Amino acid sequence: MSRKVSVGLDIGSSAVRAAEVAADGQKSSLTRFGQVGLAAGAVVDGEVRDPGAVAAAVRRLWSEAGFRSRDVALGVSSQRSMVRQVDMPKMSRSEIRAALRYEIGDLLPIPVDQAVFDFVDLGPGRPKGDGGETTQVLLVAAQRDTVLDHMAVVRRAGLKVKAVESSPLALLRAVPALDDGGLQAVVNVGANLVVVAVREGSTPRFLRTAVRVDEAAATARQSAVGAAAGARSAPQHSVLVQHGGAGGLEATVDEVRGSVEYFLGYARDSRLSSVLLTGGGALQEGLSDRLAGALGVPVQRAQVVAQTDPAVLGLAGPQYEEAAARWATAVGLALWGLAAGPSLSLVPAEVQERQRYRRALAATGCGLVVIAGACGYLSHVRVSETRTVAAEVATAQADANGLQARIDRLKSVTAVQSQLVAEKTLVGESLAGDVDWVGLIGRIEAALPLNVRISDIQVQRSNTGSPTGAGAASGPSGNPGQTVIGSVTMQLSTTAGPAAVAEFVRSVWLVPGVRGLWVAQSSTTAGVTTFAATAQVTGLALSNRATRIVGGQP
């Protein structure tokens, strides 16, 4: 089995850190780790403020640590990003993606068009009050500008971004779960941010990023990491920061306790069983004991799932202990796409499209070289085959002449039968596209939420395909009745804001004959939200009259 090498890059408030992981099947090992310090103010609360300084630090990091790949999985952690679990009606992946655009509007304090997101289906959710099936979705979202700023810094440093992921998710991937049968919290205490991630087994349940507001954190920004970070042959130069003072400890403990209590407040039947602590702040003397006392559960230092060897990493003694406290997020990012569990990416769609285009161009260039080399061989083969093909053509022509003579003798017998078949086909085809538009519009109106009104509705029959009845042809999923036969366009309004738009999407999606519902645009004026929606009409909307008329197709 081939050995895969991957690199994760974590841009923190006090330093940039990267980890290289080599994976072979189910086993992985940390082969390189490095970190380079950042000046105060270069990154604040997870936001890049000085792109030049951060890019220079990343270039220095790659130069000194000797990473073998320039393709990186990049982490984003700020208060403008979030991870949530959302229960959605059971629907296709494309329909869930469309509906989540409106959920994000309620979860993030930014306009929907300024956000990027990705999600993974975690399986069946809790049944709705009416017994309808739901799907539990893990949603990751962030402000588009935050993601693009991070990506721009990485490209400026001469690297390529293969994925952008939420740092809290990477943290959970890096730290193996304890087999204690309960909820576990993984807490990363950085120089500026505190990440609290709660999971049940391997499933994330709650993730929160908060800013540390205390004097110790401000001191840490300036002195947490020294000039350079090493790996293998390059020793670590980071300065071990003691976040001294009871005030600094208490602020961190209060933040973690508040986050855990908030989660347990709505997860009423849940109980925290343990806490795994990591990050530079985890080195503070007394922090583990104070967290254990505040939360009433055991607290211990987190380890990473990848195997680590101080000799391989070129670290020893205190250098190894300090690095081990800081590398968890970078290791989790390096395991993106290699380890089990969700591997989500926040790379904007337009950037992904450009990346695919470049890869296609590269592949085309290679293909042209191969084709040029093969042309000489093919021309020789075709010359040698010409005589054989000519003989086969002559034989086939003789057979065709004989068949045509027989067909001419049977024309008078088949003429009447052909005319009957043609007339039957015409009747069936004329009724094949008969859509019960009145019934469809009635079902849509019945499904509307009470505070949503239709001001205009237009329907159109598609010219592509001609199913002969409800379910006459199979749709893409092999389910009869899902063939697209037309479209419906609606103009609507509501006084209940985006929440009503989201409820409209969930309700109308369940109408038989409607598929692929999409809200194209919306605007709010004087408390009234107007929006336009389009949907595909499927074979379930056909009247099926062809089966009730003699001569129609069944």
Q: 397 lies in a domain?
A: no
Cβ–Cβ under 8 Å, residues 278 and 187: yes
Per-residue pLDDT of the chain (554 residues; tens, 9 = 90+): 568 999 999 999 899 999 999 988 778 999 999 999 999 999 998 899 999 999 999 999 999 999 999 999 999 988 778 888 888 888 888 888 888 887 777 777 777 788 888 998 888 877 776 667 888 888 888 889 999 999 999 999 999 999 999 898 999 999 988 776 678 999 999 888 899 999 888 788 888 888 876 544 444 444 444 433 333 333 333 333 334 445 568 888 999 999 999 888 877 777 899 999 999 888 888 899 999 999 999 999 999 989 999 999 988 888 898 899 999 999 999 999 887 667 788 898 788 777 666 666 655 555 544 444 444 444 444 444 445 445 555 665 666 666 666 666 566 555 555 665 666 666 566 666 688 898 899 899 988 998 999 999 999 988 654 444 433 444 444 555 678 889 999 999 999 888 888 889 988 988 999 988 988 788 889 989 999 999 999 988 888 766 655 444 44
Final residue before a domain boundary, out of 347, 375, 394 = 347
Q: 360 lies in a domain?
A: no
Q: 386 lies in a domain?
A: no
According to the model, what pLDDT value does residue 282 have? 84
Q: Is 331 helix (H, G, I), strand (E, B) or coil?
A: helix
Final residue before a domain boundary, out of 326, 347, 368 = 347
Q: 55 lies in a domain?
A: yes
Cβ–Cβ under 8 Å, residues 553 and 537: no
Q: Is 213 in the same domain as 335?
A: yes
Final residue before a domain boundary, out of 347, 370, 403 = 347
Q: 335 lies in a domain?
A: yes
- Rounded Cα distance, 509 and 100, in Å: 13
Domain span at 447 = 437-548
Start-end of H helices in 198-348: 215-223, 246-266, 287-295, 310-313, 318-326, 328-334
Pairing relation of β-strands 71-76 and 160-166? parallel
Name residue 498's beta-bridge partners. Answer: none
What proportions of the chain, in percent to the nearest 5, are helix, strand and coil?
Answer: 40, 30, 30
Q: 461 lies in a domain?
A: yes
Report CA-CA distances (Å) from 272 to 58, 267, 275, 378: 38, 11, 8, 69
Q: What is the pTM of this model?
A: 0.63
Residue (of 280, 360, 314) closest to 17 by Cα position: 280
Q: Is 121 in the same domain as 236?
A: yes
Domain total of the chain: 2
Q: 355 lies in a domain?
A: no
Q: Is 337 in the same domain as 478?
A: no
Q: Is 85 in the same domain as 192?
A: yes
CATH number (domain holding residue 510): 3.30.70.2830
Q: Is 84 in the same domain as 218?
A: yes
Q: Which amino acid is at 198?
A: V
Q: Is 102 in the same domain as 236?
A: yes
CATH number (domain holding residue 116): 3.30.420.380
Side-chain half-sphere CA neighbours of 231 within 13 A: 24
Sign of the Cα torsion 463, 469, 473, 479 reads positive
Q: 423 lies in a domain?
A: no
Report CA-CA distances (Å) from 408 to 398, 414, 418, 420, 421: 16, 10, 15, 20, 20
Q: Is 206 in the same domain as 339?
A: yes
